[in-house]
Chain A
Amino acid sequence: QSALTQPPSASGSPGQSVTISCTGTSSDVGGYNFVSWYQQHPGKAPKLMIYEVSKRPSGVPDRFSGSKSGNTASLTVSGLQAEDEADYYCSSFAGSPWVFGGGTKLTVL
């Protein structure tokens, strides 16, 4: 069982927006502004998409945005494109170890 809870799947049509949630506790997501999101295509290494809740590394399209409210963080992908179809994982600092969500498979219909 993962420490952070993500929906197993999400979907949207090209051009639409989709939001993936990541629910933790006050000991991780709610206690720190150190939530990250990673994208992973099949057979590939993960790629950092969002860090510190809402910051985007250089090269990540601004279609990807992050936010947090209480113990729940969210990743929103706007203007869905075919290449956004992948697994998405959230992670959070939790005092000493890091914790991850179980992952969400995003399908572009």
Chain B
Amino acid sequence: QVQLVESGGGVVQPGGSLRLSCAASGFTFSSREMHWLRQAPGKGLEWVAIISSDGTYKNYANSVKGRLTISRDNSKNTVDLQMNSLRPEDSALYYCARDISGSYSVDYWGQGTLVTVSS
């Protein structure tokens, strides 16, 4: 079955960096676009970034553009999110999710990894 397992979350000071990783299994990873989304505590969902199946296309929410970078390794079935210049408003539960292919929707989500940006 499809599994997505995020890791790498933690507490970081404003201006700091963190790298999140998502390990995928149960499907042909190299054929699917992947996403990162986030949810601040008690708040709604926010789409963060997308990467194409071969890694050549990437796009970001305006709120994170220039600070967060999505990447993937199809040989390891992982998708990462490098987070630099972190701000308190980046504090959230970060979810990795699988694209449903051609429908601008995600059909499987991980359980999330928590990022807290605080001094």
Residues of A within 8 A of B (CB): 2, 32, 34, 36, 38, 45-48, 51-52, 55, 57, 89, 91-93, 96-103
Partner pick for A2 among B44, B62, B95, CB 8 A cutoff: B44
Q: Which residue of B lies closest to A37 (CB)?
A: B105
Chain A residues near B111 (CB-CB < 8 A): 45
- 30 of the cross-chain contacts (CB-CB < 8 Å) are A32-B104, A34-B103, A34-B104, A36-B104, A36-B105, A36-B106, A38-B45, A45-B95, A45-B109, A45-B110, A45-B112, A46-B45, A46-B109, A48-B105, A48-B107, A51-B100, A51-B103, A51-B105, A51-B107, A52-B103, A57-B100, A89-B44, A89-B45, A91-B45, A91-B47, A91-B105, A97-B59, A97-B62, A100-B45, A100-B47
Docked pose: A57 CA to B109 CA in angstroms: 14
- By the criterion of a CB under 8 Å from any partner CB, how many residues of chain B are at the interface? 19
Find out whether the CB atom of B106 lies under 8 angstroms from the CB atom of A48.
Answer: yes
